Each structure stands twice: as structure tokens, then as C-alpha cells.
A and B are shown apart, each in its own frame.
Chain A
Amino acid sequence: MYSFSFHRPKTLAEAASIQGGLEEPKLLGGGMTLVPTLKQRLARPSDLIDLSQIPELKGIRETAEGLEIGAFARHAEVAASDLVRRTIPALADLAGHIGDRQVRNLGTMGGSIANADPAADYPAAVLALKSTVKTDRREIDGDAFFTGMFETALEPAEIVAAVRYQRPGKAAYAKFRNPASRYAVVGVFVAVFGSEVRVAVTGAAGSVFRATELESALAADFRPEALEGITVQRDDLNADIHASADYRAHLVTVMAKRAVVACG
């Protein structure tokens, strides 16, 4: 790790303002991605802004449309929350299957979506659950938040404050874990809002995407059999030592079917 200065602001406004005069500040969430990056000397921020002591970033609240989850909500907290389990159980399930216990106890939702790892789970929820990302300065439509591999609509120094998720009629998340890292090789979030079906896919491509072929098939017939023979057609699917592009494409359909079954 290179040396850096450490800041621990107490309010969102302070966190936003102190970044102003700093050379290369970096926000610190749970540190599950950032700290290993620093330890391997792959990043050299001048300052770390620890977000752990900011009340505005915390908490899980019920809203008229669904839920608002503070950016600093740890994965374990979301997984165990009665409110989340009652309102959007699929989201609690997703959080409960991130990484391992240690990672869930420290990693945060805000850090996860800001990082936009192509294999992360939360991005699938953001896309499937008609969400809105609240930051220190504006609101961003969840559908427009992820812009590419490790890329988001956030401006430099912009802080994710919370995400508002809409409560679906029914929803489920099915994940095929990378056996080594336990990130998603493929994760599929299926959510039903009245006649609209959303199918958000993470892990399979450079960035989370909506599988429109699967959505229209399910909108017409919400049964796993409706997905028989349908494969996502994309030329940007990931391929690595764990899974080829073909295998990932296959898994998208398999996981989508499982999510449909789990929707009940």
C-alpha cells in the first residue's frame, strides 16, 4: 500500500466538500474491492474518504413504491433485514449470496454499484427493480446508471447516497457462482411488474444488461418452458478460464428459468 491521508467525515455534505481541494481522493466504502487494490499497489489515491460514519448513508426505509436502501448498507444487513425480506425478498436473497461471510459483513451496496464490477450481483437488482440512484447531488435513473465495464454515470467525486427500488409483483434472483471467487459467472434477476417482465443479467457481459429476448418471451408466457430454445444473442459475452461465452449464454437461459420457477 502507498501512504495516503485518511478522512472520516460525519455528514454527506462534508464528504462532498472535503474532496474539493484534494489531489486524488477516493471514497472508501466497505473496502472489499478498494483495499486489496491498494495492497497490491494498483491504485495510488492521495486521500481516502471513509464513508462509514455518515448517518445519511445508512438505513433501510420503506417507501410508497418499495424500498430505499442507504448506500452504506452492508450486504449482511440487507440480507438479514426483515423489511427487505418482507418487501423484496429477492433482494435479501441476492445480498445473502454475495461472496462469503466476511465480505458480506463489510461490503456495501453503494460500493458495489459504484464499482460496477461486471460480475457483481447488485447491478442486476438495480436494473430489474426500476430503481433510482440517489447521489449527493442528483437522482439517476437506475436504467442509465451502468455505462460499461467498471463504468457508471457517476461524475468524479459524486457519492452514491441511496438506491430506491420499486417493489415488484414477484421477483427472484438466480446466480451461478464462480467456484473460486464466488462472484457471479452469470446472475439473472427476474422481476414482474404487472404485465411488464424485467430480466437483468449480470456476469455474462462487460456490463449488466437486460435480456430483451427473454423478457418478451416471459411477458407472453411466464413459465420456464417459455424460455426453451431461447438464447441471448450478443457478441460481447465474457470468456475466461471459468466459462466460455457459449457456456455463459447457456447459463443465462438456465438461470432465468430457475428465477422464474423461484418466482412461484
Chain B
Amino acid sequence: MANPSGIGASVRRVEDARFLTGRGNYVDDINRPNQTHCILVRSPHAHARILGVDASEALQAPGVIAVFTGADMGADKVGSLPCGWQVHFKDGTPMKEPPHFPIACDRARYVGDIVAAVIAETRDQARDAAELVMVDYEELPAVASSLKALEPNAPIVHDEAPGNVCFDWHIGDAAVVDAAFAGAAHVAKLDLINNRLVPNPMEPRAAVGDYDASSGEHTLYTTSQNPHVIRLLMGAFVLGIPEHKLRVVAPDVGGGFGSKIFHYGEEAIVTWAARKLGRPVKWTSDRSEAFLSDAHGRDHVSHAEMAMDKDGNFLALRVSTIANMGSYLSTFAPSIPTYLYATLLAGQYKTPAIYAEVKAVFTNTAPVDAYRGAGRPEACYLIERMVDVAAGVTGIDRAELRRRNFIPVEAMPYLTPVALQYDSGDFAKNLDIALPMVDYAGFAARKADSARRGKLRGIGLSTYIEACGIAPSNIAGALGARAGLYESAEVRFHPTGSVTVFTGSHSHGQGHETTFAQIVADRFGIPIENVEIVHGDTSKIPFGMGTYGSRSLAVGGSALVKAMDKVERKAKKIAAHMLEAAETDIEVKDGRFTVAGTDKSLGIGDIALQAYIPHNFPLDELEPGLDEQAFYDPKNFTYPNGCHVCEVEIDRDTGVVEIVNFAAVDDFGHVINPMIVEGQVHGGLVQGIGQALYENCVYDEDSGQLITGSYMDYCMPRADNVPSFTVKYHEDQPCTHNPLGVKGCGEAGTIGASAAVINAVVDALSEYGVTHIDMPATPEKVWQILRQGSPAAMAAE
């Protein structure tokens, strides 16, 4: 490695000094002159008709400037929050897409639905006045669970969606799958629930709307992962503001995990109200509001069946899933349980036939959308649990059954029966690295030792593959995406050789300011201190799609490389001119431009200076300046993959599950900053473990009230809940179709971990005849199994 801050170096994150010393600039830190404060009146009922909103008393309260309702926004022709992805029913008819207004007009459909916005001089005054807004509700029966919503007499969430069905979609060839099942020697079956989660980024959402009457320009400061997407959706569909009059700024953002991808009503409310009032309007969510109103994740109920021949070769997989969409379609909701879930159901296996059907259902709960992994954790969890059940049915060792069914490395590129083409991956190799990391062979001895101490012990594997860097725009478009999925970058060399990069990706914890700078430093042989990464402001950066789905490096990084290619081509021209050589004779290495076979050379800094002082440029052939922009539209998804192994001990007295060892082997293609990658893996693993053992979003089935509305009841994993992880990666299988050979690492940990944990728990409980336990595997759930007694022990008695 030539450059100490180049590709492959564990450079410390340059952004951390600012974050750790409290100098970050988050949306709530932004205060505009003459600013007002907005508090939202939210429905306390899961389902109610809004008969009237009486704001007269609130309007008399000290400091109150305005109280707005859905009718006020309707009078200004404010549109519905758009859905960015259209999915179709099996018969080709489009999904049901009921309107979702920023402020509910006729009906409130979940606890937390916005029914009025109170704006006052101070936040406390707005809050006081919000209590005085009298909303006349007629309570309606509510339904919180997707299964109940499908019952014949269930309350109807939207009149537009009979039976509460948003869509009933499928993928794969049912006839081929049926035929394979007919000839199967073994069939394994599994019913499972993928529990609902609350995303919980450290920074709650916030938005500040500002309007400059002299220029007619709107500015929205918002906690977003993708400011250009918000500008497009809100500008074009909700408020009718053209792009050149709308600036969206997402400054430092404290975590998102997907929940800040979406366009939320609050953003439209503050932007619209700021113009209405001629004053800036600020809204900041408190934690309780975040629990109620951030888009939730997961919430699937599935049935799956695997057909095998007598040797355990997978013949066909059949999956039927019911996905809870919540009360309204959030921005990308329909794509999550379909194109980001069912297309991943091949996993790492050469299962020749797969059929999946997905029914998406409206309920009186918060909207559900992408949450770290988005569809892929649900797919991985289902497959990897299924494989363990299959191992039980066939009596084949779980590692061996996986190995037998892996898509071999020689088969790459490999087209699965569910539409994806994997470009690379050596799954057997991942497994070979992982098993010794936990001394898989020595497990029996450790289990015996645990038994001596009165504990149960189990080990579980999970081999995941995910599709990241969504995706070629043409494929996504054909699958219903209403947006392109490219990324942009601009590389601007300044006269003295420093560089500013403008990226359409957005960093909200990922460390782009470091990683992207390393890529530039590496290419041009300059220190990263000379590179500044600018993101998150639509008035500065080119149109970009933002950060989600582990796409920043794979797509945004590729755009950056493309822009650097252009810079280099231009620099080569300038070098040729300055060195009086033919352009074809210029050789480039680490930012030095040399005339082949001579010692005549120039550094990129010299060239940059000349680019801006073009005293003797042949201007017909050579433009001044060294500033290039590129858009990159990927050729395919990238396919990070890996193998996780988890070992647990269970306390027989209490049912408490303790993770005693956890190893992860990942193939992320090339790695730019190993330290940042390791951090992403650790965080991801904790989130996956959180789902498996602790986190669970619970609504009361009858009232639709959120029971787990605070950290007193919603259990986040803490440092003392997890062991010290052992993680490794290998770079032998770089992505074949992007210039950096990178695959993405942001979600992998979350995608693989839950299945590894539950497989270990089920293994530990296997002597009790257990073949499945739903997440989270809480102490009580485990104890209820233990108290039934072990069938083996009972038979022996």
C-alpha cells in the first residue's frame, strides 16, 4: 500500500472529532432567525373518524400563531405523500394505493397519525396549546395484526382496499415447484413470524422549513438519508414546488437504519407552513413520537416448505408470506416484502425451483418500510431456519447440508430462479473459514461441559447473501420503481491541488467523509487531509439517490471513480501539453504523470495549478479547469455474502439465553477501510441479535395502542448483552462489475445474525423436541418450553 491513507488503510474516521466533541451540526441544532415551533396533535386512537377539529381555544393561548388541519392543507391543494414503488397483484392489476395526506382529513388510521399542527413562538407554548385543540373523534374498531386484518369481518382500514389487501403478488413458477414437491423424498415445513421492530436511530427525526419571499425559494432542513429524493417527492408530488425553488439540506444525521429514507408528512407540513406564515417553522420529534411515527420494520408471517431428494439436495422451495404494511404505504414499502425479499429466497443454494407469494395488508399501525437489511433479513432468516429444519428432517449435519446445496464458485455468474444473477461468491470458502473460528468440531465437548454446569448449549449457522447497491435503473424500473437508482459524484480539483468531492450519497454514521476521501487520496497520491467530502445539500451536490441498501460505496463510490477517471483524462491532456509530449505517451501512476521512458513528469498538484492558470493553453483543444462530474448506473446488484456462527448457553432455571461466542466471515469484495467495515459489522450483528433475543414492537390487538412505546418496554440490546465478536473478511471474490470491486457492508451483520442466533437456540432446545421458536427468544418463551420437560427425559423416567 503506497499511500498511508489510501485504500486498505484503517484510517481513523475524520468526522468523529466533530461528533465526539459535540460539534456536529444536526437539524435540531439549526435555528433560523424569527423561527416558530411546531407541535403535532396526534391521534390517540388507532382508528377514528375525525368529526371536527376545534382550535378556537388553542388559538387564544399565549404565543400561538396558527393551528393547521388537513382541511387547511387540502384548500391549498397539498397532495398525498407519494409511494415510490408500484407492485402488482398476481393478475397484473396495480396495488391499492390509498391517499396519505400529511395531516389526516377524515379518518385517523393509527395511534400517532397527525390530525393538527400547532405553531407558536416557543416549543412549550405550542405544546401547551396542542392540549387545547379539541378533536371530535368517533372511535372505530381497529385492527393491528396482519392475520386479523385478513379475517372476513375485520375493520377496513381504507375503503379503497377491500379485505385490507394492498396487493397479492407472486414470483417464480408454481407449476414447476408443485412438480418437484410431488417427486420429493423429504419435505420440511416451517411456520414463522418475523417480528416487528422500531428503528430507533440515536437522533430522532426533525425538520425546519424556511421560505425566502424575495427569491421565492424554499429550504427544508431535514433528517434524511437522501435529500434529493425528498426534494423530488415533496416538490413534485406534495407541494408543487419546482426543483430550482426548493433546497433540501440533510446535514449531520444521527443514524437512520432506513427510517430516514422516506418522505414523511412532517417535512411537508413545516415547508408548507413556513411559506404560509412567512416565518421559519421547526419540528423536532421526541422519543415517544419516534416510537409512534417512524416507519417500523419487518412484520412478516410466513409458511415455507422445502422439497428434497433422498440425499438432501434441495429440489424446490415454496413460500407464502403475509406482510404488514401498516396504515399507509410509506415511500418504498411495497418493494420491501417483494423485490427485496422474495428475490433473495434462493439464498446461497442451488435450489432449482422457487415459488413465493406475498400478500401485503393494511392495519391500524404505523407504516412499515425498509429497516436495516429491508427484506433481505426476512429472506435470510426464513431460508436459514428452513435449512436447519430440513437438516432435522433428513438427519444430515447442518453444515454438511449447506455445503451440499451451495451454489459452487465455478457456477458464477449464477442465475437464480427468482430473477437475480449472482456475480461472485465462494460460499464453501466462507464456511471453511468460519467453522474453525468457533471450533465447530469441539462443540460436543463444550456442550457436555455446559451440561455439567446445568446449562443447555447450542450452536447455529447462518449463511447469507444479499443484494445491495440497488440496482440498474432499467431493471428496477421494470420491477416497479418510480425512480432511477444511479449515483452521482463531482470531483473538483482546486488550483493548489486540494480536492472537494460532491457526492449524492449521504453519510449518517457510515463514515463516508473518511472512506470516500481515502479513494481519492489513493488514486491521486495525496493525503486525505487534502480531500473534503460534501454531501447532503441539494444546492451543492449533483442529483443523487442517497444512502440506503448498502449502496454508497458500490454505487456512489463507482460514480466517484468515474468522475476521477474523467479528471485523470483531462489531467493527462494538460500534462501532455505542459510536457510537450503526445497524450498517448503519458503514463499515470499515483497522481504522477510521466512521459514514457523519460524522467519528465508532473504531479497532479502542478497540473491542477496550470488548469486554473491557462496562460498558454491551446484553448480550442483544452478547456481550463479540473472539475468533473459523473453519474454511475450499476450493471447489476452487488452480492455481499458470508457465514455467521453463534453459540449460546441457556439457563435452565430462568430460560435466559446467553450468547457465548459469535463469529462472522464476510465477503464484501474489496475493503477500503477495514476498521470502518468491522464497525459496521459489529453494529449490524448487534441489531440482528437484538431482533433475535430482545426487540419486539407490540401493539395491543384490540385497541391498537402501542404497548412498547418507550425503552421501559422496548428492549434495545446493550453492550453487556453481546460477547466480543470474532470477525474476518476475505477479498478473494471482488464484485465483477464495478470499478472498485466492492460489494457493501452496511446491512450484512443484521441480515445474517438473527438466523444464527435462533438456530443456536433451537439447537440447544432440540432435546425438548423443539424445531422452531419465534423471535425474540425471550427468557419467558424459553422457560415455557423448558417447563414442559424434555420428551427424552420423560420417556426415560
Contact = CB atoms under 8 A, between A and B. Distances in A.
B654 interface: yes
A222 interface: no
B780 A242 contact: yes
A224 to B, nearest CB: 11
A48 B131 CA distance: 23
A242 B778 contact: yes
Interface in A146-183: 176, 179-181
Nearest to A254: B653
Contacts of B654: 176, 251, 254
A180 B780 contact: no
B707 interface: yes
A247 B288 CA distance: 29
A244 interface: yes
Contacts of A41: 127, 131
A184 to B, nearest CB: 13
A244 B655 CA distance: 13
Interface stretch (B556-564, B712-720, B752-760): B712-720
Given A241-B698, A243-B780, A180 B715 contact: yes
B569 interface: no
B783 interface: yes
Contact of A241 (B127, B708, B784): B708
Contact of B713 (A1, A180, A251): A180
B711 A181 contact: yes
A241 B783 contact: no
Contacts of A250: 783, 787
B712 A181 contact: yes
A29 B691 CA distance: 36
B694 interface: yes
Contacts of A1: 124
A89 B779 CA distance: 28
A40 interface: yes
B131 to A, nearest CB: 8
B352 to A, nearest CB: 43
A242 B654 CA distance: 13
Contacts of A241: 698, 707-708, 713
A247 B783 CA distance: 8
Interface string B700-740: 00000001100111111000010000000000000000000
Contacts of B128: 2
Contacts of B783: 247, 250
B292 to A, nearest CB: 13
Q: Could you say which interface size class chain A belongs to? A: 10 to 19
A117 to B, nearest CB: 11
A180 B711 CA distance: 6
B287 to A, nearest CB: 10
Contacts, number: 41
Contacts of A179: 694, 715, 721, 778-779
Contacts of B779: 179, 243, 247
Interface in B430-465: none
Contacts of B787: 250
B780 A247 contact: yes
Interface residues of B, number: 24
B653 A180 contact: no
Nearest to A2: B128
Quick one: which of A3, A40, A241 has the most chain B CB within 10 A? Answer: A241
Interface string A1-39: 111000000000000000000000000000000000000
A3 B721 CA distance: 39
Contacts of B784: 247
A242 to B, nearest CB: 7
Contacts of A242: 713, 778, 780
Interface string B757-797: 00000000000000000000011100110010000000000
Contacts of A40: 288
B288 A180 contact: no
A49 B708 CA distance: 32
Nearest to B784: A247
A58 B694 CA distance: 38
Nearest to A243: B780
Nearest to B716: A180
Contacts of B708: 241
A152 B417 CA distance: 67
B391 to A, nearest CB: 30
Contacts of A243: 779-780
Interface string A232-243: 000000000111
Contact of A180 (B127, B131, B712): B712
A242 B694 CA distance: 10
A181 B708 CA distance: 11
Contacts of A3: 124
A40 B37 CA distance: 18
Contact of A244 (B698, B716, B780): B780
Given A241-B698, A254-B653, A180 B714 contact: yes
Contacts of A2: 128
A145 to B, nearest CB: 25
Given A241-B707, A241-B708, A181 B713 contact: yes
Contacts of B127: 41
A34 to B, nearest CB: 15
B708 to A, nearest CB: 7
A102 to B, nearest CB: 12
Quick one: which of B707, B708, B711, B779 has the most chain A CB within 10 A? Answer: B779
A243 B653 CA distance: 14
Interface string A197-225: 00000000000000000000000000000
Cβ-closest 6 pairs across A and B: A180-B715, A181-B712, A254-B653, A179-B715, A247-B780, A243-B780
Given A179-B778, A241-B708, 11 more contacts: A1-B124, A40-B288, A180-B711, A180-B712, A180-B716, A181-B713, A242-B713, A243-B779, A243-B780, A244-B780, A254-B654
Interface of A: 1-3, 40-41, 176, 179-181, 241-244, 247, 250-251, 254
12 contacts: A179-B721, A179-B779, A180-B714, A180-B716, A242-B713, A242-B780, A243-B779, A243-B780, A244-B780, A247-B780, A250-B783, A254-B654
